[in-house]
Amino acid sequence: MNKWIFGAVALAALIVAAFGWPPFSGGPSGKGVLGDGYMSTETGVQRQPNGVYQVSALTRMPDVKADMVRWWFADYLQTTEHYKRWHPTAHVWMDWENKVPGAYVGASHLVHEYIGTELVKLRIQFVPPEEILADADLKPGDVAVCARVGLLETPIYVARMCHIVRDTAFGAEMRSRFWMGHVARREGNDSVTSIEGVFGNTYLARRLAISEADAVALMVHAIEEMGTLADFLPDLHAQETGSFPAPTPSVDLQTGN
């Protein structure tokens, strides 16, 4: 009997060590990020019980409307010059795969960029929000830019992300979420079962592969690039579309009042 008890405890410990607690948990959810208010952490990094690092960044965007962000991704962003304007010191090169005018879902953004001090080459495959967020339920007027993030030179997904943009009294705000450590082999635009996915999604592998410094570097990058976008997007949108939105009232960006 004692051997059976010891064996059961050892097996349970092995499962927890491999997959975290509760085991096999931790898929991204829209429950908080799509809500009306704010979550307890809107800017920061948190290690999840399954080893995934959740990276959060809140960007206030005065005089921006959520639809301008949709326009930026779907219509305007075309060249490396455009991409470098978004983050002049970190963005190096870009191209598109499967891009059609007026849409970003279904396209993949191919980029070279610095996150922290590391040059990374990524394939950011834009997908419908429900593919990333369980219980995705966007409110009218909200914009979701969601993607599976993979390596450009190896057919592997390594993360998931969503930028949720909503209009506010002062313009708009973007609530960005990244989930670092969702690993899958890619064939075309599909995830397939593989040994990389089996072992790459264990708690131990995520602990070893993703450090707090990695998560913080991504958070800082998101804050910088989206803050820069907020600075020039209203004027750029007006110049390119001829649409000049009514000025928004002066608001305290710290309180939203």
- The mean pLDDT of 31-36, rounded to a whole number, is 61
Confidence (pLDDT) at 38: 72
Higher pLDDT, 28 or 240: 240
CA neighbours closer than 13 Å in the CB half-sphere of residue 107: 21
pLDDT digits 0-9 by tens, 61-116: 999 999 999 999 999 999 999 999 999 999 999 999 999 999 999 999 999 999 99
Confidence (pLDDT) at 15: 47
Q: Are 227 and 57 in contact (CB under 8 A)?
A: no
* Bond from prior residue into 101 cis (ω within 30 degrees of 0): no
Structural domains present in the chain: 28-241 (3.30.530.20)
In sequence order, the β-bridge partners of residue 165 are 143, 174
Confidence (pLDDT) at 4: 43
pLDDT digits 0-9 by tens, 172-194: 999 999 999 999 999 999 999 89
Confidence (pLDDT) at 243: 80
Closest CA to 129 of 148, 150, 149, 146: 146
Q: Are 98 and 108 in contact (CB under 8 A)?
A: yes
Q: Helices (H), strands (E): how many in the chain? A: 6, 9
Hey, what are 114's tokens?
A: 């610095």
pLDDT digits 0-9 by tens, 241-254: 998 766 655 555 55
What's the pTM value of the predicted model, to 2 decimals? 0.85
What is the DSSP secondary structure assignment for residue 135, as one 8-state letter? T
Confidence (pLDDT) at 223: 98
Could you tell me the pLDDT band of residue 41, with boundaries at 50, 70 and 90? confident
pLDDT digits 0-9 by tens, 194-243: 999 999 999 999 999 999 999 999 999 999 999 999 999 999 999 999 98
Residue 257 CA to residue 255 CA, distance in Å, equals 5
pLDDT tops 60 at residue 3: no
Amino acid in the structure at residue 245: P
